[in-house]
Chains A and B, each alone.
Chain A
Amino acid sequence: MTNDKKNILVTGGSGFIGSHLCEALLKEGRVICMDNFVTSQESNIDHLLKNPDFEFIRHDVNEPIDLEAFPELTRFQVKFQGVQEIYHLACPTSPKKFEQYKMQTLFANSIGMKHVLDLGVRHTSKVLYASTSVVYGPRPADGHSFKEEETGSGDTLSPRACYDEGKRFGETCCATYAQSQGLDVRIARIFRTYGPRMPLYDGQMIPDFITSALDGNNLELYGDETFKTSLVYVSDVVDGMMKLMHAPKDIGPVNIGSEIDIPLMDVAQRIIEMTGSTSKIVFKPALLFMSQLGLPSLSKAKEKLGWIPLVTLDNGLKQTIDYTMANKSLLNLKSIT
């Protein structure tokens, strides 16, 4: 085994975005995927388990992390080689089970964040934190796109605060460790993302639109016809995060998302067309954790990372539909058990 590959830790690595990130990172390093399957699926990383450069460790980030204590990581020689990069994505994200995971949400962005940053200090790793567009607050009335220097206007005393304020606090932890410990931290503010491996029946809508369209069932939209959102395909997000990790340090938070605003109803309609379905769209009461989000200004991402999203909505939807069709029996089975 050559020793020239980087060791990269991905927390939340078996989640929707995390698993795609692990896949892409295997091209440049050895990947330690950490997860405890709170809202993620083991099946997302099944295909990676045989890869000699991939190792999964089941661990809750809210417990202190000592990578040297995991015998399965011996072959990555963490003790001598350390960990060069850490992507911290771990945080429960489930619109349907939001209530159930409020405490874990608070802790992943504070206690878990601390454990990740301590690990970064110990190994002098670069740390990338997956933050979110919600730190800017809700979609602004004037429709302007969020620039990174905006301070945001979240409400600390709301049922969503465990997530919204948790993510803000996570960013502050990163900034504080950078200021006090000289740690190299990067903050990606990720906007609404879609693609294969999004959990089904969880209020995420797009994957459910697809299965419903394929099954000839109604497509249930949580909200009404005015619900608009931007959507960025997961491979673009992964690319943006990796570019941010490779960028010069101290550039501050960077928006990763799509600037194109689209009514969700149009997305549903497009899915019906693309699947040749006869399904109808019906409206359901909005979910607390599935809100219309604001739009990103991408000028910083363009300038500092040379990044823009490349996958068109049609292409992204097609790939998501293909994935769903290929895994449909498996996916449906999972929903029953």
Chain B
Amino acid sequence: MVDKKNILVTGGAGFIGSHLCDALVKEAHVICMDNFSTSHVSNIQHLLQHPNFEFINHDITQPFQLTDFPELEQYHVGLQGVQEIYHLACPISKLHFEDFKIASILASSIGTKHVLDVAVASKAKVLFGSSSALYGSRREGQVYANETDPCVLDHLTPFGAYDEGKRFAEAILYTYGDVYSLDVKIARLFRTYGPRMKIADGNLIPDMVNAALDGKDIVLSCREEEKISLCYVSDMVDGLIKYMHASTDISVMNLGSDQEYSVTEIAKKILRTVESTAQIHCKADGTLSKEAPLPDIGRARQALHWLPLVQLDQGLAYTIQDARSRRTQMHAFG
């Protein structure tokens, strides 16, 4: 009997991680590792009874081996190890960024080392969730960022802990790939949205949705004409899985949407969907936001035959639907 693959997802209870687990349990044993530092158990509640899903509460900055956890014996990890690792764990909170800075540099460095040590022991493929932050802010004349573009960013700013952490993690991946002949893949994720994004944590879309559902005006802290690109989470998950299955020689890949929308346009769509008559205000402080350039997704199109499929209207409708049902639940149990 050919057994199912064992797959480890670090940060598996996070926004993207939990959607990835949802997709992976269909065909593999999923070991979801998280310590809920900025994620929540509610994201994976529905998976806890699934026979292909096992949750491990572990902080990756502490060393670990799969055999440390008796609950994984059912997947024969002692003999079979894991075949794939999606390494997404990194504390992130836009609103409480300060509180997680040191945790962030430790997860990106020491945490990444521990995950890669497990990969070496299992000879597993590793896909790392890196960030569009590496490309720095949008610059004059640079609309799209290509994987081969130089990554120019100031590593000593208050955001350095996250940005440089991701950069250094990429360097660790590359070095492990080089020294241990490990199959490593670096996905640079651009702005993603969808159900289960944290509310009241500085995330644009869920906060706009929440305000709209409250019948409140949407207050934007950016300039009116500011444009962003948005990739729906199921598309992102699809891209991650396709990348994991791709040939070994593609070490870095942009994943995201190359369509951009003005923030006010998105806000209008949200208000329209919830049939709200509230207003949109911009309390622009004139400062330039740190928005990344748009991803050049030519490599993903060509190598993975991937491109984002979910239209913004559709994605927003799903996101609003999820927010509504969560609010009902909160109300019911509140």
- Which residue numbers of A lie inside 8 Å of B, CB to CB? 102-103, 106-107, 110-111, 114, 135, 151-159, 161-162, 164-166, 168-169, 171-173, 175-177, 179-181, 252-253
Chain B neighbourhood of A179, CB < 8 A: 98, 101, 158, 161
Q: Report the bound CA distance from A164 to B175 in whole Å.
A: 12
Indicate which residue in A114, A166, A176 contacts B161 across the interface (CB closer than 8 Å).
A176
Q: Is the CB of B158 within 8 A of A169?
A: no
23 contacts between A and B (CB under 8 A): A102-B179, A106-B171, A106-B172, A107-B113, A152-B152, A153-B151, A155-B151, A156-B151, A157-B171, A157-B186, A161-B175, A162-B171, A162-B172, A165-B167, A168-B167, A171-B164, A172-B164, A176-B161, A179-B98, A179-B101, A180-B102, A181-B102, A253-B156
Q: Is the CB of A162 within 8 A of B155?
A: no
B 145-168 contacts with A by CB, 8 A: 150-158, 160-161, 164-165, 167-168
Q: Is the CB of A153 within 8 A of B152?
A: yes
- The total of chain B residues at the interface (CB under 8 A) is 35
Q: Is the CB of A162 within 8 A of B175?
A: yes
Q: Is the CB of A161 within 8 A of B109?
A: no
Q: How far is the CB of B113 from chain A (nearest CB, A)?
A: 7
Indicate which residue in B113, B153, B170, B178 contacts A111 across the interface (CB closer than 8 Å).
B113
Q: Is the CB of B150 within 8 A of A165?
A: no
Q: Is the CB of B150 within 8 A of A157?
A: no
Chain A neighbourhood of B98, CB < 8 A: 179-180
Chain B neighbourhood of A106, CB < 8 A: 113, 171-172, 175
Given known pairs A106-B172, A162-B171, A166-B168, the reply for A176 and B101 (CB within 8 Å) is: yes
Q: Is the CB of B175 within 8 A of A172?
A: no
Q: Is the CB of B174 within 8 A of A158?
A: yes
Q: Is the CB of B152 within 8 A of A102?
A: no
Q: Report the bound CA distance from A172 to B160 in whole Å.
A: 6
Chain A neighbourhood of B102, CB < 8 A: 176-177, 180-181
Q: Report the bound CA distance from A332 to B186 in whole Å.
A: 46
A-B contact count (CB 8 A): 110
Indicate which residue in B157, B167, B174 contacts A169 across the interface (CB closer than 8 Å).
B167
- B168 (CB) vs chain A CBs: closest residue: A169
- A164 (CB) vs chain B CBs: closest residue: B171
Q: How far is the CB of B107 from chain A (nearest CB, A)?
A: 11
Q: Report the bound CA distance from A110 to B102 in whole Å.
A: 12
Q: Report the bound CA distance from A277 to B213 in whole Å.
A: 85
Chain B neighbourhood of A157, CB < 8 A: 170-171, 174, 186, 251-252
Q: Report the bound CA distance from A20 to B134 in whole Å.
A: 38
Q: Report the bound CA distance from A102 to B251 in whole Å.
A: 19
Q: Report the bound CA distance from A177 to B106 in whole Å.
A: 12
Q: Report the bound CA distance from A106 to B70 in whole Å.
A: 32
Q: How far is the CB of B100 from chain A (nearest CB, A)?
A: 10
Type the 1/0 row for B127-145, where 1 means its CB is closer than 8 Å to any CB of A.
Answer: 0000000101000000000
Q: Is the CB of B174 within 8 A of A156?
A: yes
Q: How far is the CB of A103 from chain B (nearest CB, A)?
A: 6
Chain A neighbourhood of B153, CB < 8 A: 151
Q: How far is the CB of A193 from chain B (nearest CB, A)?
A: 23
Q: Report the bound CA distance from A62 to B164 in whole Å.
A: 20
Q: Report the bound CA distance from A175 to B164 in whole Å.
A: 11
Chain B neighbourhood of A155, CB < 8 A: 150-151
Indicate which residue in A111, A159, A161, A172 contacts B156 across the interface (CB closer than 8 Å).
A172
Q: Is the CB of B171 within 8 A of A172?
A: no
Q: Is the CB of B105 within 8 A of A173?
A: yes
Q: Report the bound CA distance from A166 to B172 in whole Å.
A: 9
Indicate which residue in B109, B134, B156, B157 contacts A156 across the interface (CB closer than 8 Å).
B134
Residue among A103, A110, A151, A154 having the largest count of chain B Cβ atoms under 10 Å: A110
The answer to whether B110 has its CB under 8 Å from any CB of chain A is yes
- A103 (CB) vs chain B CBs: closest residue: B179
Q: Is the CB of B155 within 8 A of A172?
A: yes
Indicate which residue in B154, B156, B171, B178 contacts A165 across the interface (CB closer than 8 Å).
B171
